Structures are given as structure tokens and as C-alpha cells.
Amino acid sequence: MAEDKSKRDSIGMNMKGCQTNNGFVHNEDILEQTPDTGSTADNLQHSTMSILGSQEPDFKGVQPYAGMPKEVLFQFSGQARYRIPREILFWLAVASVLVLIAATIAIIILSPKCLDWWQEGPMYQIYPRSFKDSNKDGNGDLKGIQDKLDYITALNVKTVWITSFYKSSLKDFRYGVEDFRQVDPIFGTMEDFENLVAAIHDKGLKLIIDFIPNHTSDKHTWFQLSRTRKGRYTDYYIWHDCTHENGTTVPPNNWLSVYGNSSWHFDEVRNQCYFHQFMKEQPDLNFRNPDVQEEIKEILRFWLTKGVDGFSFDAVKFLLEAKHLRDEIQVNKTQIPDTVTQYSELYHDFTTTQVGMHDIVRSFRQTMDQYSTEPGRYRFMGTEAYAETIDRTVMYYGLPFIQEADFPFNNYLTMLDTVSGNSVYEVITSWMENMPEGKWPNWMTGGPDSSRLTSRLGNEYVNVMNMLLFTLPGTPITYYGEEIGMGNIVAINLNESYDTNTLLSKSPMQWDNSSNAGFSEASHTWLPTNSDYHTVNVDVQKTQPRSALKLYQDLSLLHANELLLNRGWFCHLRNDSHYVVYTRELDGIDRIFIVVLNFGESTLLNLQNMISGLPATVRIRLSTNSANKGSEVDTSGIFLDKGEGLILEHNTKNLLHRQTAFRDRCFVSNRACYSSVLNILYTSC
């Protein structure tokens, strides 16, 4: 009996254990029922079936409730009223993702390439020995440049370009490098350079530096080893047998130095002549020697590792000479050969732009590309071609699929000794017509090797030339001091064998009207300051609303903020001996800038004869005379003084580059269109 009772208790417990606990009491009014001991067999059968799960639970009439088990949840989720909305939301999400991906791909495909840092704004070229002296020795230095970075930033400049600062014994420092990996002590130390690079980058600016691969100083270690025929350095320079008797040298041929007289100089140590395109203290490297090319690339890597953002490669057309030593042809064939001593008296077909020279330039580009893989760290490459024609200069852009320079520096405006509307127009169109499609132009009005703008053309042209610089398509390049209208110093005895004319445009920067124009606190500076520094200086012009400096800042700000100027079409309207008129416009923007620049005497212009549908008056956006800024001007009769310029703003949907009559007179570098709805640029215009 006790055994039977134990079995019944066990079955009863099992029956209670089979009850489903839904987590919440469904109905508190239903009390838990006690099993009927009188129907043990039936209960045992029911419990066994529940444990085995042989029957599906019935959820009819049950409403969803919190904490329901998954069996109940699955029953409800399969119902149409729950399943259909869920499927609709799922496919809507899938469709949205696909649309977003498609839109992203379309934007990427249709968007033009973003302007790189060397395209976004002006470059500012600094001759470091004349910019700012920080240690009172009369010479500008790297710390001085760092001290003036706030000023450079205030000009809205994007790139600082520092000319040669390598160790050199030459007073000019542009050439004749003794060690490409050292900073000349006059300019400071390598630590100073590294601090300057960091400070420039902290300001959001970029840094490019000069590099002169064609030659070194005769004091360079390579040359000293080469003249004694030491190992691989034996052929690092161009040596050739020549006759030298009683102090007189008979050179191998009639090749001439840029500075005149023979380009061959006898070396008594090696008992041979070496070749120099420039001064005898600047022997040419032998770029037909692969070891020399690799040495130069290692130097590039050295400075790129230091954080330099790009290089200006100077005198690249001189990198190779013809292997043969045939005489170059005389310009005047009737001239007695022994009297041919000036560089301009020969055609330099065997000493410039030789076959293979562009291959060397491309190898420099490839070396720099190795350091351009990081986002935002593209390394810029510019080339300076000495006295080349425009059609030859633009060859340094490279080929459609083989890149060389990002742009060769365009210094043709600096060659204008007299200026007119016709001469300015000729420089502009010659460059734009010869430049390969899709390449980026640049413009400069001064530099260390040319006379300053005011000394070359006159004070009245400072503002109008700066307006030209910032309203042309491409990158404007400013030589230090041009923004305030600095001029050349008067020629004096500088006790220098180098061409003194190249020093006249390198006088100290004029910061204020204190001693030495605020350039240095030394008692003597390496070059004298210009006598006009009391009135032509940064501090004075900061406070003058009509100063050249103020206009320069307004122009650079307009250039940075207006798509019409930094991305738009250039369309030439008309020019004559006095003026040049052109427009800047962009698809998608229903207004244009009309730029009117007068380089001649006072003149009266009728713009309505040039542009059909022009209203009677248009607004002056900027003027070389700041008093006119924002005012209206009569388009049927615009009076311009000598050296006056206007940027006029006109609302129109009739853009000139779409018109057949102007199609051959309009240029664009990277075509783009603007969507005002999406506020984006796109290429499918």
C-alpha cells in the first residue's frame, strides 16, 4: 500500500510539473485546480502526452501579451496583418540602400576632380635672405619666415614657395650648391627648417622649395672626388680633353655659357676641361650617368621625408647635352667665329632640350609619386624653363598618360618690359591655346630673376596686374613684396662677380618705416633697403583702405570664394592697345564676371557693343579704385584711367561659352557645372 501511494504522489507531481508557465497569469480569476485522485489513469495518460509533446498547442482566442514565448510569437507573426507590413518595411529598406548606393556612385562618376591644394589658391614666393632677419646679422633666415606666417596667412595664400637655401658659397644662393642636404648657416639649422615645416602645416599651408639638379658648386664633394678620378665619381661631371698652353685654353667646341664666353673650363688637377652652362664655379652634372640620377632622387627623398610638399625644378632644359661635340650654329653666319662670345649669338640645339631630358623629368615625377599616396599629401612638381618659347614650355606638362610637371611656371608676364592690352592678350591666349587639354594654368608677374613690376612697368600698374593675376584661370603666383608694390633698389657696387642685375629685385622686405624697413635690427643688411620704404611698407598699407595690400587681400578672398574665378570659363571679349576685356562664367550659375583692365592711356569703353543684352548698368564687384566698389556703372560708356581695372557682376542665363560666336574664344581647364539645388559640382553639363 505504501508503495502504491508513493507512485500516485510521483504521478501527481509530474502532472503539476507539466503545466505551462506563461510568465504572467492570464486570468487571475481562474484558480489552480487540484488533480482528481479518482481519475488517476486519465491524468497519467494526459500528462504523458503533454511531456511527449505529441499535440500542437491551441492559441485560438489568445491575444498577444508581453513576455509571450516564441511558440506563441511565431503563431502571431505568421498572420497577414503582421507579416505584410514587416515585408513592406524590409523591401523599402533594401530599396533605400540601393538608391543610396546608386546615388553615391552617380555623384562620384559625375563629380569633377576636386581642386588640389596647389590649385586652390595663390603661391607666395620668398627669397629667404631678404624676407625677415631674426638674429640681427643682416640676413633673412628661416626663423624670420616662421615669424611672419600670420602675415602670409592674412594674404589668403595657400602655398609658401621658398627659393634655394642650401649650403652655398655664392652670394646669390640661387645656384652653386655645395651640399644639397644642408641648410646654409646664414639661414639657420636643419632644426630651424623642421620647425618651419611644422609651423607652415599647422597654419594649413603647404611648402615647396627650389631644387637645381643641373649643376653643383665646384666645392661640392662630388666634384672634388671627380677631379681626382675617385671611383664612381669619376664621371659625375662632363669632362673632355682640351688644349691648355701658356694659360690659354682651346675648348673642344664653340659652346657658350649663359653668362657669355666658353662653357668649358680647364681644371689643372684632372688636366681636362669640364662643362658648365652657367658660371665656371657651377660645373654641370653628367645626367647620362645612372649613378648621378639616383643621387638626385635620393636627395629628393631626403627632403620629402622632411615634410616638403613639392619642388620647383630649375633649369631643367639644361640637364642633357648632345653626346657629340659638334659646334652650335651661329645666329649670324657671317660673324667671325672667334668673336662669338655671347649666349644669344648661337642656336643652342645641342645643349638644351635634348632627347631623353623629359624622361629624366618624368623619373623625378615618379619618385615624388611614391610620397603622394596618403590622402591630402600629394607632392607638387613645378618646372622652370629658362627663356623657352611657350610651345616648348608647355611640353613639361607631359603627355596625356605620362605626367611630368603639375605645371611649368608661366613667367611670360614678367618678360613684358612695356605693357598694353594687346601684349597681355597675346600672353594669355598663347598659353591657353598651347596648354594641353585638361591641364592647369598658372600666372606670375615677378620673380627673383626678373625686374620688379613697378620698376619694369611703373607704379600705376601694380593694382591692375594683381587684378589680372587673380581673375585669370589657374594658380596666381606672387613674388614677395609685389603685394605692396615694392620696386628694385638702385644699382650700386655690390662687390659680387655674379650678375648684379639679378640682385636688384631681391632687396629686403619692407615691413614698416623703422630702421631697415623692419627687416633687420642689424646695423648693416646684406642688401640695402629701397629708399621708398617709409611709404611703401606693410604697416602703412594695412591702415589704408585704398592700398595695394588691401586690394590684394580683397582679390585673393574673392578668388577663394567664387567658383566663377577658381573653376569657371574664361572668355575673351576684346582687346586693343589700351585695354583687355574678358568674362568668367560657370554653367549653373546665372551670373558672370566681366573683367575690364586698362593698360594704356585713359579710355572710354562701350560694353554694350561687346555683349548683347547687357543692361544699362551693372554692379562693380571690385575696382582698383576702392571708392567705386559696390557702385553701379553705365555699360554704354565706362571711363577708365591708366592702370585702372574693374570686376563687374552681371546676372544672366545667356553664358558666352555656349554661343557659337565665342566658342573659339573661351577656355576652361577642368570643366564643371554647378547645381544650386544640390549645391554640388558635376561634369555632365
> Span 426-447, mean pLDDT?
95
Q: What is the pLDDT of residue 127?
A: 96
Segment among 242-246, 379-383, 413-417, 607-611 with least mean pLDDT = 242-246
243-250 contacts, C-beta under 8 A, 24 or more apart: 244/271, 244/273, 249/273
C-alpha–C-alpha distance, residues 114 and 442, integer Å? 17
Q: What is the pLDDT of residue 33?
A: 44
Q: If you search the block for the grid coordinates 649670324, which residue do you land on?
A: 332
C-alpha–C-alpha distance, residues 43 and 36, integer Å? 8
C-alpha–C-alpha distance, residues 34 and 89, integer Å? 48
Sign of CA dihedral 654, 660, 665, 666: positive
Which residues 6+ apart lie within 8 Å of 153 measured at CB?
Answer: 203, 204, 205
> Span 456-464, mean pLDDT?
96
Contact present, 195 and 208 (Cβ < 8 Å): no
Q: What digits encode the pLDDT tens for the residues 255-268?
A: 999 999 999 999 99
- Judged against a pLDDT cut of 80, whether residue 124 lies above it is answered with yes
Q: What is the pLDDT of residue 680?
A: 84
660-664 contacts, C-beta under 8 A, 24 or more apart: 662/571
- Judged against a pLDDT cut of 60, whether residue 490 lies above it is answered with yes
Q: What digits encode the pLDDT tens for the residues 289-319?
A: 999 999 999 999 999 999 999 999 999 999 9
Which residues 6+ apart lie within 8 Å of 227 measured at CB?
Answer: 267, 269, 270, 274
C-alpha–C-alpha distance, residues 653 and 679, integer Å? 18
Q: What is the CA radius of gyration of the chain?
A: 39
Q: What is the pLDDT of residue 567?
A: 92
Query: Tell me, what amino acid is at 323?
Result: K
The overall longest dimension of the chain from CA atoms, in Å, is 148
C-alpha–C-alpha distance, residues 92 and 396, integer Å? 54
Mean pLDDT of the chain: 89
Q: What is the pLDDT of residue 58?
A: 59
- Judged against a pLDDT cut of 60, whether residue 221 lies above it is answered with yes
- Judged against a pLDDT cut of 90, whether residue 108 lies above it is answered with no
Closest CA to 520 of 167, 447, 529: 529
Contact present, 681 and 112 (Cβ < 8 Å): yes
> Span 366-384, mean pLDDT?
92
> Span 109-113, mean pLDDT?
80
181 or 685: which leads in pLDDT: 181
7 or 308: which leads in pLDDT: 308
> Span 534-559, mean pLDDT?
96
Q: What is the pLDDT of residue 68?
A: 77
Segment among 377-391, 402-416, 473-487 with least mean pLDDT = 377-391
546 or 68: which leads in pLDDT: 546
Which residues 6+ apart lie within 8 Å of 319 measured at CB?
Answer: 213, 214, 287, 354, 357, 360, 361
Q: What is the pLDDT of residue 112?
A: 81
C-alpha–C-alpha distance, residues 632 and 626, integer Å? 13
Q: Which ranges of 160-238 does DSSP label H, i.e. alpha helix?
A: 190-202, 221-227
Segment among 28-32, 145-149, 448-452 with least mean pLDDT = 28-32
User: Could you tell me what percent of the chain has a pLDDT over 90?
Assistant: 75
Q: What is the pLDDT of residue 82?
A: 80
- Judged against a pLDDT cut of 80, whether residue 42 lies above it is answered with no
Q: What digits encode the pLDDT tens for the residues 574-606?
A: 999 999 999 999 999 999 999 999 999 999 999
3-state secondary structure 533-564: CCCCCHHHHHCCCCCHHHHHHHHHHHHHHCHH
User: Could you tell me what percent of the chain has a pLDDT over 70?
Assistant: 89
pTM of the model: 0.85
- Judged against a pLDDT cut of 50, whether residue 52 lies above it is answered with no
The CA-to-CA distance between both ends of the chain, in Å, stands at 101
> Span 518-547, mean pLDDT?
95
Q: What digits encode the pLDDT tens for the residues 82-102?
A: 888 889 999 999 999 999 999
Q: What is the pLDDT of residue 170?
A: 73
Q: What is the pLDDT of residue 376?
A: 77
Q: What is the pLDDT of residue 13?
A: 42
Residue 328, helix vs strand vs coil: coil
- Judged against a pLDDT cut of 50, whether residue 8 lies above it is answered with no
Q: How many helices (H) and strands (E) does the chain have?
A: 18, 28
Q: Residue 388 — pLDDT band, cuts 50, 70, 90? A: confident
Which range of 20-24, 35-39, 327-331 scores highest in mean pLDDT? It is 327-331
Which residues 6+ apart lie within 8 Å of 104 measured at CB?
Answer: none
Q: What digits encode the pLDDT tens for the residues 237-254?
A: 999 999 988 888 999 999
Q: What is the pLDDT of residue 684?
A: 75
C-alpha–C-alpha distance, residues 655 and 650, integer Å? 11
How many C-beta atoms lie closer than 10 Å to residue 340's C-beta? 17
Phi, psi of 462 (to 5 degrees): -60, -50
- Judged against a pLDDT cut of 80, whether residue 61 lies above it is answered with no
- Judged against a pLDDT cut of 50, whether residue 491 lies above it is answered with yes
What cell was used for 13?
A: 507531481
Q: What one-character-per-residue DSSP string does 380-405 give?
A: EEEEE-TT--HHHHGGGGEETTEE--
Q: What is the pLDDT of residue 29?
A: 43
> In Å, how far are 212, 222, 273, 319, 376 from 232, measured between CA atoms?
22, 10, 19, 20, 39
> Span 657-681, mean pLDDT?
89
Q: What is the pLDDT of residue 110?
A: 78
Q: Residue 513 — pLDDT band, cuts 50, 70, 90? A: very high
Q: What digits encode the pLDDT tens for the residues 132-179?
A: 999 999 999 999 999 999 999 999 999 999 999 999 987 656 678 999
Residue 670, helix vs strand vs coil: coil
